[in-house]
Amino acid sequence: MGFRLKFKVLVSDPLAEEGIEILRETCDVDVRTDLTEEQLIDVIKDYDAILVRSGTEVTAAVIEAGTNLKFIGRAGAGVDNIDTEAATRRGIPVANAPSGNTMAATEHTIAMMLSMARNIPQATASLKKKEWKRSKFMGVELNEKTLGIMGLGRIGREIAKRVIAMDMKVVGYDPFITKENAAQMGVELMDADELVKVADFITVHTPLTPETKHLINAARIATMKDGVRLINCARGGIIDEKAMYDGLVSGKIAGAALDVFENEPPFDSPLLTLDNVIVTPHLGASTVEAQKNVAVSVAKQCLAVFAGEPAKYA
């Protein structure tokens, strides 16, 4: 390969312009959001860095083919779609932007919980069909209900703060925080089995790991309150979708609000056929503000690595 004056960066998922502009000041940037894995493997050798959101799978094969890669950036929380072991083998730093979309995901979760409680998506669809069905869409209040939060990290604790202000009682499960720490947030810490029994609404905010896969499963659903409502704006698979479907059909679960799915897009999921399920297409981080935050963060980290410094998220 010949000598190049500028670093080359491949942006393979839609990234906010503010981040791309920062890179363009000193780098050549190609935005190519339609590449298949084969095409990516074919072109990646020309690039010094690749920046992705959740669409691109940065597999071991892509990383092996990226002989010039010096940085892999994910504009979002988690690095689920990057083979970090393959990157480590090649000594390529991988960085994300874990806090840039915290408020977006927090607000989306609360919006989903309120929309589910008051049947807002169903009532909107009904009225747009020129129906006026007031009794069909009777809702429930959040006031004085118990919210169970599984995972009290950045998003979980921001949700706790907000719903406490709405007079909800909050119980939490997170094996990595102390009872005292939870109490400072106004949250009563308990184990997962206890939490699922006492909560009226349950929302999950953990990463998807072998330990959290099907954290909510058929056995735990069986012990929940009748009419419990579930929310997943974290990662598909934390709730067992088959068990949730059965619970929604039987009426054990009164409703579910889902932003994420075991397979995305979930076009074949039977959950989409149920009236008591409301859904969004993985929109948790989709605010103008969050997309700017995460794009600028990974762009700056990329430039830091090119300058020989460590990637440090801001």
Which residues bind to ligand MLT, rule: CB under 6 A?
53-54, 76-78, 101, 284-285
Only segment of 56-64, 95-103, 195-203, 217-225 that touches ligand NAD (CB under 6 A): 95-103
Name the 3-class secondary structure at 23: helix
Q: Minimum Å distance from CB 237 to ligand MLT?
A: 13
Q: Which of 211, 259, 276 has the alpha carbon at shortest distance from 77?
A: 259
Does 55 help bind ligand NAD (rule: CB under 6 A)?
no
The question of whether 64 is a catalytic residue gets the answer: no
**Catalytic hit among 21, 144, 264, 309:** 264
As a whole number of angstroms, the distance between CA 100 and CA 185 comes to 21
Q: Which is nearer to ligand MLT, 117 or 152 (CB)?
A: 152
The 3-state DSSP class for residue 204 equals: strand
- Strands of the sheet with 94-96, listed across from one edge: 28-31, 8-11, 49-52, 71-74, 94-96
Per rule CB under 6 A, is residue 261 in the interface with ligand NAD?
no
Q: Which entry of 235, 241, 262, 309 is annotated as an active-site residue? A: 235
Burial of 24: CB neighbours in 10 Å, binned 0-12, 13-18, 19+: middle
User: Can you tell me which residue has the tokens 């994300």?
Assistant: 96
Under the binding rule (CB under 6 A), the answer on residue 92 touching ligand NAD is no
Please state the separation of Cα 153 from the chain's center in Å.
13
Choose the one of ligand NAD, ligand MLT, none that binds residue 156, judging by a C-beta under 5 to 8 angstroms depending on kind.
ligand NAD
264 is catalytic: yes
Inter-CA distances, 16 with 126, 143, 239, Å: 35, 37, 31
The answer to whether residue 142 forms part of the interface with ligand NAD (CB under 6 A) is: no
By CB under 6 A, which span of 11-19, 29-37, 178-186, 282-290 interacts with ligand NAD?
282-290
The residue (of 79 and 163) whose beta carbon lies closer to ligand MLT is 79
What's the Rg (C-alpha) of the chain?
22
Task: Provide the minimum distance between the beta carbon of 206 and ligand NAD in the complex, in angstroms, as a whole number.
Answer: 4
Restricting to residues 61-90, which ones interact with ligand NAD according to CB under 6 A? 77-78
Query: In degrees rounded to 5, what are phi and psi of residue 268?
Result: -95, 5
Non-local CB neighbours of 274 within 8 Å, separated by 6+ positions: 245, 248, 249, 256
Residues 6+ apart with CB under 8 A from 280: 108, 112, 258, 259
Q: Is 214 a catalytic residue?
A: no
Shorter beta-carbon distance to ligand MLT: residue 77 or 147: 77
Q: Is 229 in the site for ligand NAD (CB under 6 A)?
A: no
Q: Which does 53 bind (CB under 5 to 8 A by kind): ligand MLT, ligand NAD, none?
A: ligand MLT
Contacts with ligand NAD by CB under 6 A lie at 77-78, 98, 101-102, 105, 150-156, 173-176, 205-207, 209, 211-212, 233-235, 259-260, 282, 284-285
Which residues are known catalytic residues? 235, 264, 282
